Chains A and B, each alone.
Chain A
């Protein structure tokens, strides 16, 4: 009986010791993490809505960049904690969630978004809260009064895309043009760039139609364009709108007599259009995955992305990847994770080479100066992801106005847009 009691007592004590040991062992890494210094980076992406496919790409590329930095020990010894939210491509949702990221989650830095107007709103919030903000999309936020020392833009100014594509079109395609423009701020900015370049290069503007966002039938706009007989139609739209417009232009046989030039296009659009995105359709992008044949950095980025996610990155993902990397580079250069002013100062003029040739963030307005790529569709010859070929890469410095002009929105403020 005594033996039984002894075994019971010993067993109970051993169980207790075991439990305490397990608890302590489990707590050790937690304690270690708690002691490890961290910084928080919060990003916003449209994961629902018309641009969800592009938003997902931004999110994935940001994740990849953060993982790479954490794998090499973080930034200045700080582990990066990355949080992300779905902005649903809606301004009110974006503002609510960015507040949540900064005020509740205490993010030190914010980034992302795909809409120019949302990026303007986020920039305003960043200015008020003094939180560095890395914009991933085409945006006018570095222009004029929208500037503040806490915002940086990593895709491209909308007019730069127009200047790059129009330069190529007027030299190689023809002079007479007609445009289809999405009826909101971004579309109008693209059209301004085209109108100005047309005046400089002797283009002949035949007309423009403003089309509401989300239009599904473009045939009703084409009768006028067919009658005008331009050398090419300019598409100042994106996503589902561009898909429908190109599809219906090809259906009406327009590409037999004229080319289609998309000021900005997307890899997913080309993929979705299949044979309709043929050799008579040319589109602009800030990044196309075939740049991997030209730059080792692009090859590293594209190969890793494809291995991880099964598809090449879009330009939106690339912008996110570069923005995230450059932010952490600036923190390292500044030698501080807390002095936001010093970090933004370090960002100004920062030179780097990541996914293309050598690039830099312009000191005066924290705008990434980067090249623009023009691709031509492969139509029925497309196979897998081999959907388009690069026809030109326009250097970034040649398509951006001086800081002084940008501040005054020159020369585009003088361009009179058609009614």
Chain B
């Protein structure tokens, strides 16, 4: 029996976690939106794409990647809030299909607009100098940017958790996720909370797009796959569950990485296979609440 190449397995584990971290950011946004508004945002990947373009524009102007990331979240978050306020809000309480159709429409229209504005050729975002290069740990070569993704996601998720658990606004958001009518009766303007929540959700999508941009360039059509991945991870983790988004994201990242190692051609199919199995065995996902399936 041939020897197991442990260094390759360890690197595969590392790449899988780094990939999973992007999925975590992407799907936690989708989860927040679903939890709060009870709707699947079909334009979620489109907002990630906007994040990638925002980081491209800001980095071109400021030459600072970190300013680019923060700006991408703020810019796309505001765009999201405006869209929620002007387009989605009038549809609440009507046919639940309408917000779905609207976000689907946005996922078609926004990329076309980006093609007109930025052209068909993708826009490159360079790796920040401080994070380019790799760290060698014995037989392992770990690229600096992937390490950054892992650490950054960890910090972002802890911050999000603290915000939702400890801050007043976070508590209101959580309460609205549980029972928005009750929150409304307490005299809180839930409509405004929905707007903020939607902005937060798409802001997280933008963060995922901004972080992924140096690895793949910003292209108008990149959102399609990102929406699908976010959907798969959210279903696996459990619709509306932040913990589910984290576990689901990391799990799918590792599944993709190890399938790529043993049977490359099936790496994309593998995540859909996982989703199918989860739906059959536990329809509410790994961490989803009963009744939300």
Whether chain B is bound by chain A comes out as yes
User: Which A residues have a C-beta under 8 Å from some C-beta of B?
Assistant: 49-50, 52-53, 56, 183, 209-212, 214-217, 219-224, 226-227, 240, 243-244, 247-248, 251-253, 268, 271-276
B256 at the binding interface (Cβ < 8 Å)? yes
Beyond A210-B264, A223-B11, whether A216 also contacts B256 by CB under 8 A is: no
The answer to whether A247 and B217 touch (CB under 8 A), given A214-B225, A217-B19, A219-B19, is yes
State whether B215 touches A244 (Cβ < 8 A). yes
Chain A residues with CB under 8 Å of B146's CB are 219
Contacts A216-B212, A220-B19, A272-B124; is A211 near B261 (CB within 8 Å)? no
The winner among A49, A52, A56, A223 for most chain B CB atoms within 10 A is A223
Beyond contacts A226-B11, A251-B127: 14 other A-B pairs, Cβ-Cβ < 8 A, are A50-B221, A52-B115, A53-B119, A212-B265, A212-B266, A215-B268, A217-B19, A219-B19, A223-B11, A240-B217, A248-B216, A251-B132, A251-B145, A251-B214
Q: Are B12 and A276 in contact (CB under 8 A)?
A: no
B52 CB to nearest A CB, Å: 11
Bound Cα distance A271, B120 (Å): 12
Chain B interface helix/strand/loop/mixed: helix
- A211 pairs with B215, CB closer than 8 A: no
Residues of B within 8 A of A (CB): 5, 7-8, 11-12, 15-16, 18-19, 115, 119-124, 126-127, 132-134, 141, 143, 145-146, 212, 214-217, 219, 221-222, 225, 256-257, 260-261, 264-269
Residues on the B chain within 8 Å of A272, using CB: 121-124, 217
Contacts of B264 in A (CB 8 A): 183, 209-211, 221
Report Cα–Cα, A244/B213, bound state, in Å. Answer: 10
Q: Are B143 and A220 in contact (CB under 8 A)?
A: no
- Distance between B20 CB and nearest chain A CB, rounded to angstroms: 10
Distance, CA A259 to CA B266, complexed state (A): 27
Measured CB to CB, the closest approach of chain B to A223, in angstroms, equals 4
Give CA–CA (A240, B124) in the complex, Å: 12
B265 to chain A, nearest CB (A): 4
Assess the A252–B124 pair: CB atoms within 8 A: no
Which residue on chain A has the smallest CB distance to residue B144? Answer: A251
Q: Are A216 and B216 in contact (CB under 8 A)?
A: yes
Determine which of B15, B121, B132 lies in contact with A268 in the assembled complex, contact meaning CB atoms within 8 Å.
B121
Q: Which of A56, A183, A217, A224 contacts B215 (CB 8 A)?
A: A217
Please, which residues of chain A bring their CB within 8 A of the CB of B145?
251
> Is the pair B18, A240 in contact by a Cβ cutoff of 8 Å?
no
| Docked pose: A226 CA to B5 CA in angstroms | 12
| B25 to A: closest C-beta gap in Å | 14
